Amino acid sequence: MQPRELAERLRDGSDPPLLLDVREPWEFGICRIEGSRSMPMRQIPAALDELDRDRELVVICHHGIRSQQVSIYLDYQGFRNVINLQGGVAAWARDVDPQMPTY
């Protein structure tokens, strides 16, 4: 999913997906998409039971690489509604929210 598609989806009033930010806490502290939940990549295997397997998940990182890896992992673990945010928060800042701090 591209950042602009996600922004439209979040504005449309439908049931929002869980925004799962898999960056490190220091990264999440610099910038984040409003409403996202921080769960660093390394914590995902131990936290699978905390995630709703039936809910749509949009996985987010800095540039979309870690989130793609987590998306593949979650799919392998039986999550069927997992979407990777292409370009991560860097693309979100560029395409949706130019006021967002970057690093």
User: What pLDDT was estimated at residue 18?
Assistant: 97
Residue 58's alpha-carbon distances to 22, 36, 86, in angstroms, are 10, 9, 10
User: What pLDDT was estimated at residue 41?
Assistant: 98
Q: Is the dihedral of CA 72, 74, 77, 78 positive or negative?
A: negative
CB atoms within 10 A of CB 54: 8
Between 15 and 19, name the one with better pLDDT.
Answer: 19
Q: What is the mean pLDDT of residues 79-100?
A: 97
Active-site residue, 61 included: yes
Pick from 73, 85, 89, 71: nearest CA to 24: 89
User: What pLDDT was estimated at residue 46?
Assistant: 98
User: What pLDDT was estimated at residue 14?
Assistant: 86
Q: If you search the block for the tokens 């997992």, which residue do you land on?
A: 82
Homologous superfamily in CATH for domain 3-95: Rhodanese-like domain (3.40.250.10)
User: What pLDDT was estimated at residue 27?
Assistant: 98
Percent pLDDT > 90 in the chain is: 97
Please identify which of the residues 22, 39, 61, 74 carries the catalytic annotation.
61
With 90 as the cut, is the pLDDT of residue 13 above it?
no
User: What pLDDT was estimated at residue 91?
Assistant: 98
Q: Fill in the DSSP letter of residue 68.
A: H
Percent pLDDT > 70 in the chain is: 100
Provide the residue ranges of all domains of the chain, joining segments of one domain with +.
3-95
User: What pLDDT was estimated at residue 70?
Assistant: 98
